[in-house]
Amino acid sequence: MPVEKFRSIEEMNAAPIRSGRDGGFDRFIRHCARFWKLAPRRYPRGVVRFRSYEDAQATPANSRED
Amino acid sequence: MESRRCYPWRMDRDEVVHVLRAFEEVGLEYVLIGAAAMGIHGVVRATEDLDLFIRATADNVERLKSAFRLVYDNDPNIDEISADDLLGDYPAVRYYPPSGDLYFDVVTRLGETASYESVDSMVKEVDGIEVCLATPQALYELKRGTVRPLDHRDAEALRQEFGLEDD
Report the half-sphere exposure of B76 (CA within 13 A, side-chain side). 0
Q: Write out chain A residues lying below 8 Å of B49, CB-based.
A: 61
B-interface mutation test, from A10, A22, A47, A64, most B Cβ less than 10 A away: A47
Does A33 contact B39 at a Cβ distance shorter than 8 Å? Answer: no
Report the alpha-carbon distance of residue B165 to residue B154 in Å, rounded: 14
Nearest CA in chain B to A35: B46
Q: How far apart are CA B121 and CA A22, in angstroms?
A: 22
Cβ distance A45 to B16 less than 8 Å, yes or no, reads no
C-beta atoms of A40 and B10 within 8 A: yes
Walk along chain B (167 residues) and give the pLDDT tens digit of each residue: 444 445 455 567 889 999 999 999 999 999 999 999 999 998 988 888 999 999 999 999 999 999 999 999 999 999 999 999 999 999 999 999 998 878 999 999 988 778 999 999 999 999 899 999 999 999 999 998 788 888 999 999 999 889 998 76
Residue B132: closest CA among B47, B31, B61: B31
Query: Taking the model in full, what pTM does it have?
Result: 0.84
User: Taking CB atoms and an 8 Å limit, are A56 and B146 in contact across chains?
Assistant: no
Q: Please tell me the predicted confidence (pLDDT) of residue A20.
A: 62
Whether B96 contacts chain A with CB within 8 A = yes
Residue A60 sits at the chain B interface (C-beta within 8 Å): no
Instruction: Return the CA Rg of chain B.
Output: 16
Using a CB–CB cutoff of 8 Å, tell me whether A61 touches chain B.
Answer: yes
CB contact under 8 A, A53 and B91: yes
State mean pLDDT over A44-66: 81
CB distance B51 to B144 below 8 Å: no
Say whether B42 and A23 touch across the interface (CB within 8 A). yes
Output DSSP code: residue B80.
G
Amino acid at A34: R
Query: Helices B136-144 and B149-162: crossing angle, nearest 10°?
Result: 150
Antiparallel, parallel or unpaired: β B114-115 and B109-110: antiparallel
Cα-based distances in Å from B129 to A49, B25, B70, B148, B167: 29, 10, 16, 31, 31
Report ipTM for this prediction: 0.74
